[in-house]
Amino acid sequence: MLAALEGAVTAAVLALTAIGLSLVFGVMRVVNVAHGEFYMLGAVIAWSVATSLGGHPAIGFAAALVIAPVVVGLLAAAADMTILKRINYDPERTIVATIGLLYIIQQVTLMTYGPEARPVEPPFNHRLALPWVEWGEQGLALYWPWGLSTTSYKLAVIGAAIVVLLGVWVMMTRTKIGLIMRATQLDRDMAQAFGIPVERVYAIVFGIGAGLAALGAVLIVPIQQAYYLMGADPLLLSFIVVIIGGLGSLPGTVLAALLIGMSDGIISVFFSPTLAKILATLLVALVLVFRPQGLFGTRAA
């Protein structure tokens, strides 16, 4: 039960990170290997905003929640315009270039922010005891056992992630910018012929994708800590999620994030985390080999 709740928090943040990667792949058909570093950057910026503002932790956190994704998004859009545009979004060269970007971001953070892991205080943090149902002497009884508790903040993370995901969904299906993105995704040349500024759309999508990763990181940073190597695990997990969910399919991505996030929490209770990771990576590789459209996808990627 507790493992499932921890899993839900992981799944919520994972869904945000993965949906960013999925969006970029879906619209631009490129894989952004530096995605995990944008996540890390979000956490680090959250830390610096929160500490420089001072005052009540909630103020710093709220500021970080806005500033970090915007800054990261702008950085990513700039990287897109200076690097990816110039190599014409060639899929293989993009991967090589984003690997380069990964090292640059990671190492520059090491130089400026340093190798320490630093915490950010959560804006609110009440301990909530959870009820548990058990068959007692007087039939079903509800009671509050020791140790079974969560914090209000963790529940808020789950709530916030749901709101943002709904927002992304509404943006893609109900707004003009979403329509333009989907048009670009379906046929880049045709979209361009209809006067859609494809290159600007790409920069925006790349920025939003990185911003979502940063947002996920800001939400998680009061629970974990900001650290310059923290981008590796989310990158790997996002890859897994996006591939299992079907490359470029947004609902599939969310569903897969739930599956992986929950199972990661639950599996690691039974197995050692290393073994759980090995199984997960092998599973993904085999999914890509035998079902390239993903478990929930219908269209070939």
The residue to which tokens 């880049």 are assigned: 188
Min dist CB 31 to another protein, Å, is 6
Output 114 or 197, the one with its CB closest to another protein.
114
* Residues facing residue 226 across a β-bridge: 118
Min dist CB 160 to another protein, Å, is 30
| Residue environment code for 233-268, b if the CB has 16+ CB neighbours within 10 A, otherwise e | ebbebbbbbbbbbbbbbbebbbbbbbbbbbbbbebb
Tell me the two tokens of residue 88: 């014409």
Q: Is the dihedral of CA 77, 83, 88, 90 positive or negative?
A: negative
Give, as ranges, the residues between 155 and 194 that touch another protein (CB under 8 A). Answer: none
Q: x/- binding map, residues 213-252, to another protein, per CB under 8 A?
A: -----------------------x--x---x---------
Give, as ranges, the residues between 53 and 112 that touch another protein (CB under 8 A). Answer: 83, 86-87, 91-93, 95-97, 99-108, 110-111
Min dist CB 106 to another protein, Å, is 7
Output 82 or 138, the one with its CB closest to another protein.
82
Q: How far is CA 200 from CA 79, 184, 195, 273, 297, in A?
A: 13, 11, 12, 42, 28
Output 105 or 161, the one with its CB closest to another protein.
105
Give, as ranges, the residues between 7 and 46 that touch another protein (CB under 8 A). Answer: 31
Give, as ranges, the residues between 257 and 286 that touch another protein (CB under 8 A). Answer: 272, 274-275, 277-278, 281-282, 284-286
Question: No. of H helices and E strands in the chain?
Answer: 11, 4
Min dist CB 230 to another protein, Å, is 15
Q: Identify which of 201, 260, 232, 167 has the alpha carbon closest to the alpha carbon of residue 26.
A: 201
Min dist CB 300 to another protein, Å, is 11
List the Cα angle 264/256/210 in 5-degree steps.
Answer: 95
Min dist CB 8 to another protein, Å, is 25
Q: Estimate the share of the chain in helix, then strand, then coil, as percent rounded to the nearest 5.
A: 70, 5, 25
Quote the CA–CA distance of 223 and 283 in Å, as a whole number. 28
Output 67 or 102, the one with its CB closest to another protein.
102
Min dist CB 289 to another protein, Å, is 5
Q: Identify which of 295, 255, 297, 263 has the alpha carbon closest to the alpha carbon of residue 280.
A: 263
Question: How many residues form the binding site for another protein (CB under 8 A)?
Answer: 41
Q: Binding to another protein by residue 292, rule CB under 8 A?
A: yes
Residues that bind another protein (CB under 8 A): 31, 83, 86-87, 91-93, 95-97, 99-108, 110-111, 115, 236, 239, 243, 272, 274-275, 277-278, 281-282, 284-286, 288-290, 292, 301
